[in-house]
Structure 1
């Protein structure tokens, strides 16, 4: 009976401490939830304001990601402080642990550093069509560790920033104009001058093809099955694919109407009969 009374007395003495811990835990949870929501809203607000100020979408996304990470780290420290954790010593412990974690996460840190370099040197911006890390697509946004791209068939490609920064980047949208490189083959018995004149008429009739620089039309090769022309018109970058498709289609129809043959790949076989 005496032991029971002692246990009740100890429980009664611990009740205020337990209540205080429960209250601090509840407050810490509230701080974490509200802080996380606030950090997300502030980061989105910053991104929207930067976009309204005509800041590049990639830069705005990168800046909002950094702001969210910093605010979220602050929220965690505030929640731990509410629980009675000594944040100064905790920060020191985090610093020591951060070194070990940093060594284990060299790839992630490399992606972060590469993202900073991409933002600083701006080899591309949001909306540019690029070929990087073996993938081609339109840049959507640059985040802390990766870059988001969309392909013409609306697939989303997520590429680590380090893979982009450490490789060759082809930016198809950097310049306002592009040259279309076509190889047009005609049969050996076709009229070369007629074929050249027909292609020149097609180029001259298309208003989307630029007059300066002038289009190049010339015989480039006497191939196995055809006489090959190079056709190199200049167009605005936005018109590249439509003009390319239209020119090829017009050449096919025009050559068919004018009797200029476009040969299939072929091989001539000569058979010699030996005398008996």
Structure 2
């Protein structure tokens, strides 16, 4: 019973699929004939694929044997191998499509499109190599190289897509006109993005800072991590990343602490008026000269200078120089020096004053009934002999 039911279902499904194929092709197709044809085409496709893979392996093996093992490790050989692999894949694809009834016109168009795509790839590799040599020769900033590569990649990609589509009968002029209209619409819809893009190009050309510099932008201190086309990335000393739009960066004040190399730190210190500035300087200089991260070259000697006379203190300023690499830990260096300054001043008995308030209540008549008995009591109290 079950076998009869299964056979009936299979017969009905086969009949339905046969009717569907007949409606699509206009001819009656037998299932046995169709399966045999598909199997034979599949076997022939596998043979073609094996043939092209074998030809690729033989070609790469012959090239490696000719140029030697050492040259085969260079990037040029890797690029040649990628090109040969691409050609082998393209040939196998064309042969397999021909087995499944693709028209000669379609195969020719695909072959031309594949070869043109390979040509664009080779041209891009040559341009990239020339750009790399130009960067090494002229010391071009990596950010400008990144900008040029992105622009060329977009232009080359657009041109390659349009050229490939033209091989299949698409109207290139209509495509270009459509891209122009889309570009205008996008320009109106993304004015802020375009403004940031143009500002990013301006920053890369003027170069007020480079990747790795410590800067202050819009009141935000940080190390420049990346200069993108739309934003500038900063990393603070707390390891917090900040993305600032390039339009805002270009229109704000920029302070670059790394542009001139070494940086000077100014640490304020106050001492009492009764103390000697010379004595304080003699106490502080050994701390500065002995600190491992304070520079002591010509023109960068540590100094202790009197800068002003305050309300309750003589204001000194400790001036030291540090290397650009130490800008990452600048707060730690300042805190370390300030702590040592406090210790040596205390050890030398030099007073560090602090603001205080003195209150006079002699003329406060309203407090007389309270303070007068207290004064009388204190005056009548006998002194204690020590």
State the TM bucket, normalised to the shorter chain. 0.7 to 0.9
Give the Å deviation of 1:173.
Answer: 0.4
Match of 1:16 in 2: none
> Structure 1-normalised TM-score?
0.72
In the alignment, is the contact (CA less than 8 A) between 1:138 and 1:149 conserved in 2? yes
From 124, 133, 142, the counterpart of 2:227: 142
CA RMSD of aligned residues (A): 4.0
Unaligned runs of 5+ in 2: 1-18, 28-101, 370-386
Alpha-carbon separation, structure 2, partners of 1:125 and 1:11: 69
Query: What is the SS of the residue equivalent to 2:209?
Result: coil
Alpha-carbon separation, structure 1, partners of 2:166 and 2:26: 26
In the alignment, is the contact (CA less than 8 A) between 1:58 and 1:140 conserved in 2? no
Which has the bigger relative contact order, CA under 8 A and spacing at least 6?
Answer: 1
Cα displacement string for residues 167-201 of structure 1 (whole angstroms, at most 9, x for unaligned residues): 11111100123221121122455444422332234
| Number of residue pairs the alignment of both structures matches | 257
Match of 1:251 in 2: 341
Cα displacement string for residues 27-63 of structure 1 (whole angstroms, at most 9, x for unaligned residues): 7xx98xx99xx79x96998887777665433223222
Match of 1:111 in 2: 196
In the alignment, is the contact (CA less than 8 A) between 1:126 and 1:140 conserved in 2? yes
**1:70-109 alignment runs, 5 A limit:** 70-78=155-163, 80-81=165-166, 84-109=169-194
Larger radius of gyration: 2
Give the Å deviation of 1:90.
Answer: 1.6
Query: What is the SS of the residue equivalent to 2:360?
Result: coil
Match of 2:305 in 1: 217
- Name the CA shift for 1:81/1:135 in 2 (closer, same or farther; >3 Å): farther
Q: Greater share of strand residues, 1 or 2? A: 1
Alpha-carbon separation, structure 2, partners of 1:119 and 1:151: 22
**1:124-203 alignment runs, 5 A limit:** 124-203=209-288
Query: What is the SS of the residue equivalent to 1:180?
Result: strand
> Structure 2-normalised TM-score?
0.54
Alpha-carbon separation, structure 1, partners of 2:283 and 2:297: 18
Unaligned runs of 5+ in 1: 13-18
Q: Greater share of helix residues, 1 or 2? A: 2
